[in-house]
Chains A and B, each alone.
Chain A
């Protein structure tokens, strides 16, 4: 009796498919490596063309084209970096307690009908285009702040734009992100931990604050870190409500600084990169590289936290 051989063709198809799939997976690695290489090489060109590392981080005079070639260009990105850091930290500070509260509510308190409403709502809101949130900021948040603080700040035309509005816009954007990752983090805590806590006589509130939250610490920290990563790179929504071209003078009350047009890294890339050329153009790649480095740092932190978590 003759044994039916498996046709050679299907064997080769299997080999070829495997190689193609591998190449596609490796393409992903190549993309991220080439982002670092291409943006990085252009970024460091700036320091060969007259830029200076100390000025870049600590000087606040950002004028990479030298006012259209009239004066020597200046690459002080201190003000832009400060703007990004301030609005990112503030928005995370406001959004985090709300997001943790939402996650606790969703996992521990919420009745079923409310969870069924909340889950799609959070998912839908995560996907709202950033331009649309920016537009909402422009037509609702900025006028609102203008009415609230316009009289204190003075300068009614432009009051309301700035760090304050940008922070609120970012809160709206990162709240669903942090919430949904926090919900996943709380979900990883096994039910036996809850039962143990309740069996010892805890009230639900004690169970949540003293058992669930500490047990999910690393996952919650990951949520905050990823929220920060989203906040620091957010461009158009923030750019629309910052609406500034220079960092405001610091010889005024800190309150006023928050409610007048201001700048950050992403806003300057969005509005000025198109007209930049030569060394000025490379200066924007240096800004982009700063963002890239910060978000890479955030990924590393979140991975480190993930590797340390007890419950997966």
Chain B
């Protein structure tokens, strides 16, 4: 090969190298830009979420230190707090055993097949039914067909329908996380299936079960649309009774009414309305935070107690 030929090849190589470098630069710039974009999105969303939580709590925090807020005066929400916890306990008491039993059937007894698919499909469908539609269903079946009227019991039964799919899924996860050797150990010792479940599987699944109970409690506490018509927006003179047949409002439905359709029509002054709405919103956010922290720490705590034998 001549000297000239070699030089030409070298120049060609240089051009090629230049092009490669340009491509690499472009790719790296795209990479840097993309990474920066993801960081920006994450920062914006994080600030938005934290900002909303902090804003709502700060906005209502001042009212939470006023004892009158927890009273039964026109701007107090004492009755609503009582009703919220009443309906929470009522709804959990009827929905958790059913959901746990269904989860035990699906995980421990049922063979994979048509029935299991149907039940899972039903649960998934029920989970996406809008809660306002569940509310209307509750009126039809509990309030009208079963003559419960607008009452706490109608509300609790509607919440049962709302809560079942979530509770079932969380319980199923909890039971599925128990290793199969534990069941085999129980059965090999001659226990019946039910005894194995009762004495071995459920205690092992306890951390998950506790977390599930707390998370469903959060969902029930925040629910309003399903209770709007089944449990009503008004209170009788005395709400502090266990009577399940009286209408009553909760923190959420009361907040909706005062801030929404009842604004200016509820007999409260504007500043009293602010106390009720901002105070209730802050209280609900605080309860939500407490529930989430409890779900985390309690589950972990029980796990330690169970496994550190």
A271 lies within 8 A of chain B by Cβ: yes
User: Total number of A-B contacts with CB less than 8 angstroms?
Assistant: 262
A85 to chain B, nearest CB (A): 15
Between A and B, 17 residue pairs with Cβ closer than 8 Å are A17-B194, A18-B193, A22-B109, A25-B101, A33-B122, A101-B42, A122-B49, A131-B252, A132-B281, A172-B48, A233-B132, A239-B260, A240-B260, A270-B225, A270-B228, A295-B130, A299-B121
B229 lies within 8 A of chain A by Cβ: yes
A144 lies within 8 A of chain B by Cβ: no
Please judge, given known A-B contacts A128-B285, A203-B30, whether A14 and B224 are in contact too, CB under 8 Å.
no
Judged by DSSP, the binding face of B is helix
B89 lies within 8 A of chain A by Cβ: no
A53 lies within 8 A of chain B by Cβ: no
* Contact call A284/B136, Cβ cutoff below 8 A: yes
- Return the contact of B192 from the options A11, A120, A138, A208 (Cβ within 8 A): A11
Please report which residues of chain A, range 87-131, place their CB below 8 angstroms from some CB of chain B when the two chains form the complex: 98, 101-102, 104-106, 108-110, 114, 117-118, 120-125, 127-131
* Contact call B101/A24, Cβ cutoff below 8 A: yes
* Contact call A299/B194, Cβ cutoff below 8 A: no
Tell me the complex Cα distance, A185–B140, Å.
38
Tell me the complex Cα distance, A29–B124, Å.
10
Total interface residues in chain A, CB < 8 Å:
92
- Return the contact of A109 from the options B35, B110, B195 (Cβ within 8 A): B35
B125 lies within 8 A of chain A by Cβ: yes
A302 to chain B, nearest CB (A): 8
Q: What per-residue 1/0 map shows which CB atoms of B243-256 lie under 8 Å from chain A?
A: 00000000011011
Please report which residues of chain A, range 226-278, place their CB below 8 angstroms from some CB of chain B when the two chains form the complex: 226, 229-230, 232-236, 239-240, 266, 269-271, 273-274
Tell me the complex Cα distance, A33–B148, Å.
21
* Contact call B133/A125, Cβ cutoff below 8 A: no
- CB contacts (< 8 Å) of A204 on chain B: these are 31, 34-35
Tell me the complex Cα distance, A179–B132, Å.
24
B25 to chain A, nearest CB (A): 12
* Contact call A104/B38, Cβ cutoff below 8 A: yes
Tell me the complex Cα distance, A42–B109, Å.
38
- CB contacts (< 8 Å) of A140 on chain B: these are 55
- CB contacts (< 8 Å) of A121 on chain B: these are 46, 49-50
- CB contacts (< 8 Å) of B109 on chain A: these are 18, 21-22
Please judge, given known A-B contacts A125-B49, A203-B31, whether A32 and B122 are in contact too, CB under 8 Å.
yes
- CB contacts (< 8 Å) of B213 on chain A: these are none
B186 to chain A, nearest CB (A): 12
Tell me the complex Cα distance, A258–B32, Å.
37
* Contact call A32/B98, Cβ cutoff below 8 A: no
Total interface residues in chain B, CB < 8 Å:
90
B76 lies within 8 A of chain A by Cβ: no
- Return the contact of B128 from the options A26, A127, A136, A295 (Cβ within 8 A): A295
Please judge, given known A-B contacts A98-B45, A121-B50, whether A303 and B133 are in contact too, CB under 8 Å.
no
- Return the contact of B130 from the options A33, A114, A206, A291 (Cβ within 8 A): A291
A167 to chain B, nearest CB (A): 15
In the complex, which residue of chain B has the Cβ closest to the Cβ of A27?
Answer: B98
In the complex, which residue of chain B has the Cβ closest to the Cβ of A273?
Answer: B229
Tell me the complex Cα distance, A232–B129, Å.
10
* Contact call A129/B126, Cβ cutoff below 8 A: no
- CB contacts (< 8 Å) of B252 on chain A: these are 129, 131-132
- Return the contact of A274 from the options B59, B125, B229 (Cβ within 8 A): B229
- CB contacts (< 8 Å) of B240 on chain A: these are none
* Contact call B42/A110, Cβ cutoff below 8 A: yes
* Contact call A14/B48, Cβ cutoff below 8 A: no
- CB contacts (< 8 Å) of A302 on chain B: these are 124
Please report which residues of chain A, range 1-47, place their CB below 8 angstroms from some CB of chain B when the two chains form the complex: 6, 10-11, 13-14, 17-18, 20-22, 24-29, 31-35, 38-39, 42
